[in-house]
Amino acid sequence: MAKKRKPKLAVWKFASCDGCQLSLLDCEDELLAITDHIEIAYFPEATRAVVKGPYDLSLVEGSITTPHDAERVHQVRRSSKFLVTIGACATAGGIQALRNFKDVNTYITAVYPTPQFIETLNKSTPIADHVFVDFQLRGCPISKFQLLELFNAYLNGRKPNIPQYSVCIECKRKGTTCVMVAQGIPCLGPVTQAGCDAICPSFERGCYGCFGPKETPNTHSLAERFHVLGEKEDDIVRFFRGYNSYAEPFQRESIAHEKKSQV
């Protein structure tokens, strides 16, 4: 069999903490096997050597927060055949999207001594608000297993086995006792997409919603339950204002409770 040209991989960074890129480096055991099949062509976090584009597969980390990045993301798209966003920042705007709910200028003046040097957009937005995205890997950070599955599926020309159902499904398969039912701890698992293997409930914590909204999330009904568990309107605002606060269903739910908390 003729040796196929290895597909070229590029890893791009926008506004983010680099944690998702680290998940790739964290694939220690599998990293060599990956490089057998994929050429790491552009990955500044790992190597300074740069292979010129275009690239077959681009992983994009981070959200768009500056006018410069809003331009740059189009160049990334143009030089990528297949573009996958990785992590909550790139897919939903990240924790930095909390500013979308406030006037960003109040932060700038509060934080920086010379605010006139700061050039930033009013909102932190996901990549898909700017360019076409072929696939999204959720999570804060992404799951190493899902990243490998993505490579795997990409190399073999198949759809990745990445489910969109709730965290509860993984929680129950593991047999973890439900923290919400047995301990009265609010948990976002019923409205959050699986992928983390229900790690928080396994450690007796409620899910924080790192993987963002599941398919058809009923945030309104879950918020009702949070009320029954004794949470106040502004607590509920905070539950939905985490890493995926700007994802539409979470955004809508938090705004609804913010309005109620103000009356």
Partner 1 sequence: MAHQVRLTLDALQSLIDELQSREYIVIGPKIENRKVVYDEIAKIDDLPAGWSDEQEAATYRLHKTGSPALFDITHSMNAWIHHLYPSKATLLKASRENSGFTVERMKEAPPKYALFGIRPCDLEAMKKYDRILLKDTFHDEIYKNRREKTFIISANCTRPSGTCFCASMDSGPKATSGYDLALTEIIRDGDHYFIADIGSESAQELINKIPQAEASADDIAYANSLIEKAREQMGRTLNTGNLKEILYKNYENTHWDTVGDRCLTCGNCTLVCPTCFCTTIQDYTDLTGSNVERIRQWDSCYNNEFSYIHGGSVRTSSYARYRHWLMHKLATYHDQFDTSGCVGCGRCITWCPAAIDITEEASAIRQHSITV
Residues within the interface to partner 1 (CB under 8 A): 30, 33-34, 36-37, 148-149, 151-153, 155-156, 158, 161, 163-166, 168-169, 172-175, 177-178, 180-182, 184, 187, 189-191, 204, 215-218, 220-222, 224-225, 228
Q: Which does 201 bind (CB under 5 to 8 A by kind): partner 1, ligand SF4, none?
A: ligand SF4
Helix (H) or strand (E) holding 61: strand 55-61
Residue 177 CB partners (closer than 8 Å, separation 6+): none
Q: Please give the Cα distance from 148 to 258 (Å, whole number).
A: 39
Q: Which is nearer to partner 1, 94 or 209 (CB)?
A: 209
Q: Which is nearer to partner 1, 37 or 123 (CB)?
A: 37
Question: Which residue in the shown chain puts its C-beta closest to ligand SF4?
Answer: 189
Contact 191, 219 (CB under 8 A): yes
Stretch 151-170 residues interacting with ligand SF4 (CB under 6 A): 167-168
Contact 8, 57 (CB under 8 A): yes
Q: Sign of the C-alpha dihedral, residues 133, 45, 98, 63? A: negative
Q: Please give the Cα distance from 159 to 228 (Å, whole number).
A: 40
Determine, following the binding rule CB under 6 A, whether residue 201 of this chain makes contact with ligand SF4: yes
Q: Which does 182 bind (CB under 5 to 8 A by kind): partner 1, ligand SF4, none?
A: partner 1
Helix (H) or strand (E) holding 185: none
Q: Please give the Cα distance from 133 to 64 (Å, whole number).
A: 14
Sequence letter at residue 35: T
Stretch 84-143 residues interacting with ligand SF4 (CB under 6 A): none
Q: Which is nearer to partner 1, 50 or 182 (CB)?
A: 182
Binding residues for ligand SF4, per CB under 6 A?
Answer: 167-168, 171-172, 178-180, 187, 189-190, 198, 201, 207
